[in-house]
Amino acid sequence: MKEKFLFWRISSWLLGSLLVLPIIAIFITAMGNSDQVFSHLMNTVMSTYALNTLGLVVGTVLLTLVFGLPCAWLMAMCRLPGEKILQWALILPLAMPGYIVGYLYTHWFDYAGPIQIWLRELFGWQHVSDYWFPDLRSLWGACFVLALVLYPYVYLLVRATFMEQSNNLLQSARLLGCSPWQSFCRISLPLARPAIAVGVSLVAMEALGDFGTVSYFALNTLTTAVYDTWLGYSNLNAAAKISAIMLLVIFLLISSERFSRRKQKMFQQQCGNDSHTKYQLTGWKKWLAVGWCWGLVGCAFLLPMLQLVVYAIDYFAQSWTEQFKNYSLNSLMVSLAAAIFAVLLALIVNFYQRLDSSSISTVPMRLASLGYAVPGTVLAIGVMIPLTSADHLVNDVARSLDLGRPGLIFSGTMFAIIFAFVVRFAAVAIGSIESSLVKIPPSLDMAAKTMGYASTAMLRKVHLPLIRRGCLIAGLLVFIESMKELNAAILLRPFNFETLATYVFNFASDEQLEVAAFPAILLVIVGLIPLVMVNRSLEQKH
């Protein structure tokens, strides 16, 4: 008798529906009455929020292209001194939180900062009216800071595409007399358009959902509007309306990117390039290329990291406190719980998709992955809506049974943060386990069924031992992402509960990052782990 996989089917659909529930809740709540708060915002400040958001996204995208594209082409197509180290170093800024870089740069370049003090002493300037200096606490300053930490998205994706381009095309370009610049403009760049589009989409979504940097720079965007409307006006419906607008913008970004290249098809018979086909830069071009790449690494990672290390040494006594230990334990608990639940969920939906080969079996997996595209601040709204309803239901039932009032057992505890982290990062675990499962030949499944193994026994005795490494990587990635997540944690944290990310952000907001430099370094080091894993996998493929 053919097994119906009833447990796996029901579990997958329940989990997929549960994880997409926050997104559905945002749109349902957005249709409710917001007591004219939303109308007031639309008539007064919403246009400013929208224009600032548009300027932030466009400016950040343009700067990431300026930073990332040249580095990607130089690392993939040219021979440079120290390129083995440099290709690793260029991804390091992705581990640096934007609000930390923003704090450090404003500290360096403010009127009372060391740069302007040195310039006034050097040229004898006495007052701010004696000279002009760019104001970093502005829209362009936020774009610059975000571009410094987000350009690795473009660099990684485009570099991989450049490395996969056909040797025949590049050699033909050389035979036709194309210079490296002409080869880049006429061949490499057009072929890399899909990777550029994906990288730009990721950068745009990150910039759209950023809260820490824009909040520190006092820049009003749609993300800060969600935060202010919820906590300032205490109006969840109005916050849900703004969140729904942001989700629609993200949907349009992704859809337009795919629509723009819907008919684009590229076929290459010989892919990849080696050291023999790379351009050998000489003279001033070589040193300009090396200076550009190392200068970018220095500005985006080395100098901020060095400043944090100096702060951590000078303020270690103030940093190593009981608060730091408690908040580190908080981060460890919620991140570990999120990693465990995300891996279990990923196992269920992936295994169901393997058992049932029909196209509908992939739907729960796709539903569970949608949360990764939702900004953390928006996701916090979506999580709070169903959890608040669940709390009201539990308290009403308990009161009707004379059991008292349990309180906010869902929305007022660590459960809210853990649930948000699972919704946000389940796609990471699903993708990692999916890539491990597809490598297992179907013949092993048939052999296990022949031996009388049911689906649960087959997963435990056949698949789990083979995908153990993929599960560990999935859990590690979710754990690290949860440790760094600020947007959802700062809105969903219970009373008197902090994570390392919110702890560091609070000190940065109070202009006291020096005291939190040690936990900030810990967050950066944790963030480096997935970057090393990504770069190693990229090198193994080539």
pLDDT at 270: 46
Backbone conformation region of residue 272, classed left if phi is above 0, alpha if psi is from -120 to 50, else beta = left
Give the angle 379-105-320 at the CA atoms, nearest 5°: 75
DSSP class of residue 177? T
Give CA torsion, residues 55, 57, 62, 68, to 10 deg.
150
- CA 312 to chain CA mean position, Å: 26
Is residue 42's pLDDT more than 70? yes
pLDDT mean across residues, the chain = 83
pLDDT at 178 over 80: no
Return the pLDDT at 267: 47
Q: Is 261 a residue whose pLDDT tops 80?
A: no
Q: Whose CA is closest to 520, among 339, 306, 330, 326?
A: 306
Q: What is the pTM of this model?
A: 0.83
Q: Do domains 1-24+315-542 and 33-261+274-309 have the same CATH topology?
A: yes
Per-state percent for the chain, helix, strand, coil, to nearest 5: 75, 0, 20
- What separation, in Å, do the N-terminal and C-terminal C-alpha atoms of the chain show? 47
**C-alpha 156: how far from its chain's center?**
14
pLDDT above 80 (res 47): yes
CATH class entry, domain 33-261+274-309: mainly alpha
Is pLDDT of 481 > 60? yes
Binning pLDDT at 50, 70 and 90, where does residue 2 land?
A: very low
**What sign does the CA torsion over 480, 482, 483, 488 have?**
positive
* pLDDT tens by residue, 383-400: 998 998 898 898 888 888
Q: Among the CATH numbers 1.20.1250.20, 1.10.1660.10, 3.40.718.10, 1.10.3720.10, which is that of 1-24+315-542?
A: 1.10.3720.10
Half-sphere exposure at residue 425, Cβ-oriented, CA atoms within 13 angstroms: 29
Residue 173's pLDDT is 63
Whether 232 contacts 129, CB under 8 Å: no
Per-residue tokens: 414: 């660590």
Provide the residue ranges of all domains of the chain, joining segments of one domain with +. Answer: 1-24+315-542, 33-261+274-309
